[in-house]
Amino acid sequence: MLSIKGMSKTYRGSKVKAVDDLNLEVKTGEIFGFLGPNGAGKTTTIKAVVGLLRPDAGTITVDGVDVWTSPLEAKRRIGFVPDTPDVYDRLTGREYLSFIADVFEVPAAEREQRAKQLLTMFELEAAIPDLVQSFSHGMKQKLAVTAALMHRPSLMILDEPMTGLDPKSSHLFKELMREHCDQGGSVFFSTHVLDVAERLCDRIGIINRGRLVAVGTMDELRSKAAGESTLESIFLELTRE
């Protein structure tokens, strides 16, 4: 589903590689957790995958479509939720979702039904006639998730998706991720909440100082960090300076 091969990125003016020769595969139907300390290269990787940041080297494909040579095709396959749900404050929720449905060319017959399904699930129906600036952080996050799913992407990419969600929404969201994968989609998400990653992810990748230091199922990670049993201890062991 998602393939990253030999990706490197150095920011202008910096001598340090933010991401260094990253190779990663996310399979169809898989929830992949991407972990790492602050500044390890998680957000840089995610930005490169969704087309917000051009890598210096390497290729990134989604469903076999190159993100940088066929960006529009790739974007139709991706649903992205950033770490801060910075959406247009001066549009109403309804206008924002309509805009997203229009530019993603969601079929007219499907858009209303899709909006109803997602908005009902996140209990946002009553709020969407309001301006987004009146939404709480959690509501904005849910709106961003709804917008990202309007066009039924095959790959969901989420940067710290649980931030700001209340327990109920967080639970719903996890169920949604699992459901998305059960229906043939994939999820690639970064998080600092190791409990969530441990319970939810089929596979986990750990990045440190721009390099992928471990990738695999929980069992495979345990075997790499001998003697450690929880994801937290494995993470600390593998990212020790």
Partner 1 sequence: MSRQLIAVIRATVNSTFGLSAMRWRYRRRERLWEILLMVFGIGTAVVVFGFGIYRFMLAVSANGLLFGQPELSLGLASMAGQVLVLFMGFFMVVSAFYFAEDLETLVPLPVTPGTIVTAKFVSVLIGEYLTISIIYWPSVAAYAQYAPFGIGKAIVAVLVFLTLPVIPLAIGAAASLLMMRSISRRQRDIMFYAGSILFLVLMVAWQMSLSGMPEQGDLQKYLEELIRTRLGLVQALAGRFPPAVWATGAIHEFGTFSGLKYLAYTLAGAAAAVYALGALGSRLFMRGLLGSREAGGSGRKTTGARARQGLVAGQPLLQPAASPLRALAVREWRLLSRTPIWMFNNVLPGLIMPVIMFVPLMAQDSMRQLIDQVTSSADGPLLAGAALAAFITFVGSVSGVAMTSISREGARLWISRLLPQSAQVQLQAKLLVSLIVVAVTSVPTLIGYTLIFRPSVVNLLLPALVGLAGASAVMTFGLLMDSIRPMLRWTDPAEPVKRNLNALIPLILAMALIAAGVAITALGRSGQWAPPVVYLLLFAIAGGATILAYRALISGAETRFGNLEL
Q: Whole-angstrom Cα distance, residue 53 to residue 20? A: 15
* Strand ranges for 52-210 from DSSP E: 57-62, 65-66, 78-81, 155-159, 186-190, 203-208
CA atoms within 13 Å, Cβ hemisphere of 141: 18
Rounded to whole angstroms, what are the CA distances from 25 to 34, 190, 206? 12, 15, 13
Tell me whether strands 2-10 and 17-26 are parallel, antiparallel or unpaired: antiparallel
Query: Is 51 or 138 the residue whose CB approaches partner 1 more closely?
Result: 51
Residue 226 binds to partner 1 (criterion: CB under 8 A): no
Q: 80: which strand partners?
A: 157
Rounded to a whole number of angstroms, the minimum distance from the CB of residue 57 to partner 1 is 16
Q: Which of residues 17-56 bind partner 1 (CB under 8 A)?
A: 47, 50-54
Query: Is 66 or 237 the residue whose CB approaches partner 1 more closely?
Result: 66
Site string for partner 1, 57-96 (x = CB under 8 A): -----------x--xxx-xx-x-x-x---xxx-xx--xx-
Q: Whole-angstrom Cα distance, residue 214 to residue 207? A: 7
Element (H, E) at 158: strand 155-159
Using the rule CB under 8 A, which residue among 56, 112, 220, 232 binds partner 1? 112
Question: Judged by CB under 8 A, which stretch of 25-33, 120-128, 181-189, 197-205 contacts partner 1?
Answer: 120-128
Rounded to a whole number of angstroms, the minimum distance from the CB of residue 199 to partner 1 is 29
Q: Whole-angstrom Cα distance, residue 180 to residue 174? A: 10
Residue 133 binds to partner 1 (criterion: CB under 8 A): yes
Query: Is 74 or 214 the residue whose CB approaches partner 1 more closely?
Result: 74
Strand, helix or coil for residue 32: strand
Query: Is 95 or 237 the residue whose CB approaches partner 1 more closely?
Result: 95
Q: Which tokens belong to 98? A: 């309509």
Question: Judged by CB under 8 A, which stretch of 24-32, 102-110, 177-185, 190-198 contacts partner 1?
Answer: 102-110
Interface with partner 1 (CB under 8 A) = 12-13, 47, 50-54, 68, 71-73, 75-76, 78, 80, 82, 86-88, 90-91, 94-95, 97-99, 101-106, 108, 111-112, 115-116, 119, 125-130, 133-134
